[in-house]
Amino acid sequence: MKRVFPILAILTALLLSYGLYLALVVAPTEQTMGDVQRIFYYHVPSAWTAFLLFSLNFLASIQYLVRRNPFSDRLASVVVIAIAVLTCIGAYVVTLPEGVEKSAVATTGIGIALLYFGIRKFFSEQGTDILALVTAEVGVVFCTVVLVTGPLWARPVWGIWWTWDIRLTSTLVLWLIYLSYLMLRRFSDSGQTPVLAAALAVFGALDVPLVYFSIWIFRTQHPQPVIGGGGSIDPRMLHVLLINWLAFLSFAGLVCWSRYRLEVLQREVEEAQALDSLADARGTR
Amino acid sequence: MNFLYAAYISTWVIHVAYLVHLARRYSKLRDEIQSMKKK
């Protein structure tokens, strides 16, 4: 695995450079906004990556909570399957808000179930706790990028840096929730901290769909979605957007991987130090 | 154009700052491991 990481890091750096070149040079200039619209190629992929990371944090937190009891573990698996099935059926039976594509809703339901069972298969109980911490931390970094690049786009286009619009406000609240989650994990010494943090993450994740669907449900100043929401986009712009998202996803994956290894190492050192202190106290050394 | 460059530069400043933070933590941890080995 140690050899794979540098290769992936080089490939990611190349992909990020290619994405930057496409965004600044190749993508066509938008007619009304001009060059400032190119912020979109960093703002939107960062937002999607943050949402994905927070969703992973949510699923890992649930896993951490339910695995402590075999019955709740089985029950949660059944509930996740039921939600995926109901989402697929509901997408084609229930009348969705205008612009929301049925296939996008169904795919989201299936995707959540696949991620849940993927985490269940590949991570131990301790692993799910570390995964939750790592995804929240990296998610906050990407959410910070969203909150910085958004106003830099809004100032020349809207004439204001910020407005208390539902999309913007709910994104700020999301960032604050996960920042408080990280502060809880950083400063609480209690043995129950991972459980409390997991519970906070489950409630915090409720804000993710609110942020995502707010532009469909409420009247908002934020531009309407261009994918899966009935909006239209030049295919060349879509290509640049997807390449940049892929680049940011690879980058986020690598950062999460490094942070995960760092956390595992940190916990091993803390455990060794605790055993050392115990041995010193007993005078067995 | 200034806003565009500001957005792209600030994105990478945020990411690089986080990577530097991780690198510092990693190096601090390595020092701790070294001092434990010396014991």
CB–CB contact B14 A148 (8 Å): yes
Length in residues, chain B: 39
The residues facing A34 across adjacent strands are: A30
Using a CB-CB cut-off of 8 Å, the residues of chain A touching B4 are 35-36, 38-39
CB–CB contact B3 A272 (8 Å): no
Q: Shortest Cα distance from A20 to chain B (angstroms)?
A: 9
CB–CB contact A35 B1 (8 Å): yes
Among A residues 255-284, those touching chain B with beta carbons less than 8 Å apart: 255, 258-259, 262, 265-266, 269, 272-273, 276
Low-confidence ranges of chain B (pLDDT < 70): none
Alpha helices in A94-124 (DSSP H): 102-122
Q: Record the tokens describing residue A173, joined without a space.
A: 């609240």
Nearest chain B alpha carbon to A254: B19
Query: What is the model's pLDDT at position A229?
Result: 56
Residue A228 backbone zone (phi > 0: left; psi -120 to 50: alpha; other: beta): left
Query: What is the model's pLDDT at position A231?
Result: 61
Identify from B12, B15, B36 which residue to disrupt to test chain A contact, counting A C-beta atoms within 10 A and taking the largest count. B15
Cα four-point dihedral sign A170, A225, A150, A107? positive
Can you give the pTM of this predicted structure?
0.90
Q: Record the tokens describing residue A272, joined without a space.
A: 């060794």
Q: How many CA atoms lie within 13 A of A108 on its CB side?
A: 17
Q: What is the residue-level pLDDT of chain A in tens, covering all 285 positions?
A: 678 999 999 999 999 999 999 999 999 988 888 888 999 999 999 999 999 999 999 999 999 999 888 899 999 999 999 999 998 998 888 887 766 778 888 888 899 899 999 999 999 988 999 999 999 999 999 999 999 999 999 999 888 998 888 888 889 999 999 999 999 998 887 778 888 989 999 888 888 878 777 776 777 777 766 665 556 778 888 999 999 999 999 999 999 999 999 999 999 998 888 888 888 787 765
